[in-house]
Structure 1
Amino acid sequence: MTPHRAASPRLLAAALMALLLTTGCSTGESTDAGPTAPKQTAPKPTAEVLGLVLPFDAYEISHQESFTVAKARDLLMRNCMRRRGHEWKTLDYPAHVDDLRNRRRYGVIEIEVARNFGYHATPEILSAADDVTDRRKERDEHLGSDAVRAAYDEKNGCGYQANDFLERDGGSADYDRFNELSSKLLTEAKKQPEVVGTLRDWQSCMRKKGFTYRTPDDAIADRRWWTEKSDTGKSDTGKSEIATAVADVQCKEQTSLVKTLYTAESRLQRQAVARERSYFDGLAAAKARNLRNARDVIDGR
């Protein structure tokens, strides 16, 4: 999965390799929490966040499903690495995690997240099980150079072979069109008349609070938040960022902007699925096969 943009969904194959590095997704916001920002515990997702399930979501692997694939991949890699004379530690993956792929699709929408993180999207926010990322990194740090090559060689590594096995019999698909549509339709949703009107209300709300941003995207993109001097929650810049993010969320709540935008985007996505039924059916079949292959490995079949 791509870990940086919810608007750029995961390729099934890429999701497997990305699991070695991170879990979770976001919008176009940076995932850099600042050079000195301490690790924080993200607030639990709100009901609003958990309710942001878009039509396109059914066609890509969820956070929970990614752990099923990761578990199968670990088992395949363990066997492969042992044949090559190396050990491979399999990890314990959560039995259940919330799917947070859309937590930051519309920017910051949770007041506690705004108060603690401002506009920065850290692994603690983007993943319901960020400790898995830490354990993967720890595992990799204990691999010798030969083991790294055995695991990650781009042509013959055990990871490559595991991916190939899990994608067999149609378990992989080309998601270029999916990515294009997802990004395009989010942009189109922001241009829908009802959304444009609500954005004007948001702008008016922000102006009353002393901010002159035209849209939430402009607020996120403020260069002050993305400099090396920015130390969220500590420096003057950090305090300004948090104050802005809090006002942003408050105005979104006051104007029902997230609901309006989500409704518009959902409508556009449903229309796209109906127009390109054959393409989306192919994606669904590839996802189902990928997961079936993974479950067969886990079940020892």
Structure 2
Amino acid sequence: MFPTTAHPRAALVTALAVLATGCAASAAPRTDGTARPVAPTAEVRSLVLPFDTYELSHQESFEVAEARDLLIRACMRKRGHDWQVIDYPAHVDDLKNRRRYGVIEKAVAGKFGYHANAEVLSAGTEITELRKKRDESLGSAGIRAAYDEKNGCGYRANDHLERDGALADYDRFNRLSSDLLKKTKKHPEAVEALNRWETCMRRRGFDYRTPDEAVSDARWWSRASAPASDEEIATASADVRCKQRARLVGVLFRVESALQRQAVADDRAYFSRLAEAKARHLEHARQVIARH
């Protein structure tokens, strides 16, 4: 999904619309204010994991967001406040695993280094800015009407969309997703590929044991809002080249896919509940949209 707002009220967005965990880093984008999305590679488009079917796609998360906006608007009007319904994109690619294995695209590394987050890569920054401006226009009374934790219109909207079994335990899902990614990196095939990556990086003059260590280098995070330095871009670009030479992404994807398929097979009842909750959540959202 795309990030909602830049403050704690982002928690109001349904838990079904969370991304699978596992990105190498979560950071503010380093841009010059003119960032444009970078077209995904064929490899990125192919990274569809078994768990993905149990989450909302990016497009589906926009449907839920639109329905939620419509419900909040109706509630806010009754309380004497305006609420803007954002014009969400009619189509957006579902690339939730684009950063799951770190930076893997030459164009992204060359433009942003390690600081290209989901918003920048998807042009989701526009949605975030619209939501921020909407909040700023509400005033203190409007903020309370929308976001009060006991009776806010946002919570009422969530309750409506999540009724009748449309809410599931996605905390468990995210923990499992994260745990399986960690397990993936310890698999013998992955360890071998990671060793190839390390050797490749050392030949290029970089002293990192893993891609996670490279992206976590404190030098990249000392000035989070500044454009990526030449050194960061050079490191990220070498990182991508070595991932390609080591065939690392393909190995990680293959191993993790197998682990996720096994997890689904091991607990079909739980994943069936997730699938049903997702379907009901979408049904409720589409009913709201159809009425307006």
Whether the TM-score (by the shorter chain) exceeds 0.5 is: yes
Deviations 1:155-192 (A, max 9, x none): 10000000000001111011222122101100111111
Change (3 A) 1:256 1:125: farther
- Partner of residue 289 from structure 2, selected from 268, 279, 298: 298
Query: How many Å separate the matches in 1 of 2:96 and 2:118?
Result: 12
Aligned to 2:8: none
Counterpart check, 1:273 vs 2:264:
yes
Query: How many Å separate the matches in 1 of 2:39 and 2:128?
Result: 18
Unaligned residue ranges in structure 1 (runs of 5+): 5-12
Q: For 1:115-154, what aligned pairs fall within 5 Å after superposition? A: 115-154=110-149
Larger mean CA deviation between 98-107 and 286-295 belongs to: 98-107
Unaligned residue ranges in structure 2 (runs of 5+): 5-10
Query: How many Å separate the matches in 1 of 2:125 and 2:86?
Result: 13
User: What is the CA-CA distance between 1:226 and the residue it aligns to?
Assistant: 1.1
> TM-score, with normalisation over the residues of structure 1?
0.88
Query: How many Å separate the matches in 2 of 1:246 and 1:231?
Result: 18
> Does the 8 Å contact 2:22/2:178 carry over to 1?
no
How large is the Cα RMSD of the aligned pairs?
2.5
Counterpart check, 1:224 vs 2:219:
yes
> TM-score, with normalisation over the residues of structure 2?
0.90
Change (3 A) 1:295 1:267: same
- Partner of residue 191 from structure 1, selected from 182, 186, 191: 186
> Does the 8 Å contact 1:25/1:127 carry over to 2?
no
> Does the 8 Å contact 1:202/1:252 carry over to 2?
yes
Aligned to 1:60: 55
Query: How many Å separate the matches in 1 of 2:227 and 2:270?
Result: 43
Q: SS of the residue aligned with 2:96? A: coil
Structure 2 counterpart of 1:255, which letter? A
Change (3 A) 1:75 1:231: closer
Q: SS of the residue aligned with 1:299? A: helix
Query: How many Å separate the matches in 2 of 1:136 and 1:192?
Result: 42
Q: For 1:74-113, what aligned pairs fall within 5 Å after superposition? A: 74-113=69-108
Structure 1 counterpart of 2:14, which letter? L
User: What is the CA-CA distance between 1:252 and the residue it aligns to?
Assistant: 0.8
Aligned to 1:16: 14
Deviations 1:92-121 (A, max 9, x none): 111110112111110000111101111113
Q: Which has the higher contact order (CA 8 A, sep 6+)?
A: 2
Determine which structure has the larger helix proportion and give its number: 2
Change (3 A) 1:111 1:78: same
Structure 2 counterpart of 1:227, which letter? S
Counterpart check, 1:33 vs 2:60:
no
Query: How many Å separate the matches in 2 of 1:177 and 1:255?
Result: 32
> Does the 8 Å contact 1:31/1:122 carry over to 2?
yes
Aligned to 1:241: 232
Query: How many Å separate the matches in 2 of 1:285 and 1:123?
Result: 27
Larger mean CA deviation between 42-51 and 157-166 belongs to: 42-51
Query: How many Å separate the matches in 2 of 1:38 and 1:2?
Result: 18
> Does the 8 Å contact 2:12/2:154 carry over to 1?
no
Deviations 1:202-249 (A, max 9, x none): 11111111112111111111111111388334xxxx111110000000
Structure 2 counterpart of 1:280, which letter? F
> Does the 8 Å contact 1:26/1:121 carry over to 2?
no
- Partner of residue 253 from structure 2, selected from 253, 262, 268: 262
- Partner of residue 43 from structure 2, selected from 37, 40, 48: 48
Change (3 A) 1:267 1:253: same
Moved over 4 A (4+): 1-4, 22-26
